[in-house]
């Protein structure tokens, strides 16, 4: 577990993430993180759950219409 401190950033507040955490999360300056509420509290993640749901739906449609999409791609 890593401990971070809430600090002033301009006229807002924020947290500074240690380099170790940035490396493990594969994120860098300018990347977007998501604060996800769960039964045990909040999780900070670079993973967008809504995007994953959309990709699963797209995958289902692409499998269903594979032949039609192949013909359209010609």
Domain extent for 63: 6-73
Integer Cα distance of 70 and 4 in angstroms: 50
pLDDT in tens, 18-72: 999 999 999 999 999 988 899 999 988 887 777 777 778 888 888 888 899 888 9
Pairing mode, strands 12-15 and 6-9? antiparallel
Residue 47, pLDDT score = 79
Q: Are 7 and 22 in contact (CB under 8 A)?
A: no
How many domains is the chain partitioned into structurally? Answer: 1
The answer to the question of residue 57 being in a domain is yes
Determine, yes or no, domain membership for 46.
Answer: yes
**Residue 26: which of 49, 42, 46, 50 has the closest Cα?**
46
Q: Is residue 1 part of a domain?
A: no
Neighbour count for residue 12 (Cβ, 10 Å): 6
Question: What predicted TM-score, i.e. pTM, was given to this entire model?
Answer: 0.57
CA distance 66 to 73: 11
């Amino acid at each position: 577990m890593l401990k971070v401190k809430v600090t002033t950033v301009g006229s807002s507040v924020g947290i500074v993430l240690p380099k170790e955490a940035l490396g493990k999360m594969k994120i860098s300056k300018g990347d977007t993180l998501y604060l996800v509420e769960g039964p045990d509290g909040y999780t900070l993640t670079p993973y967008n759950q809504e995007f994953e749901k959309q990709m699963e739906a797209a995958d289902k449609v692409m499998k269903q219409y594979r032949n039609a999409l192949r013909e359209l791609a010609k």
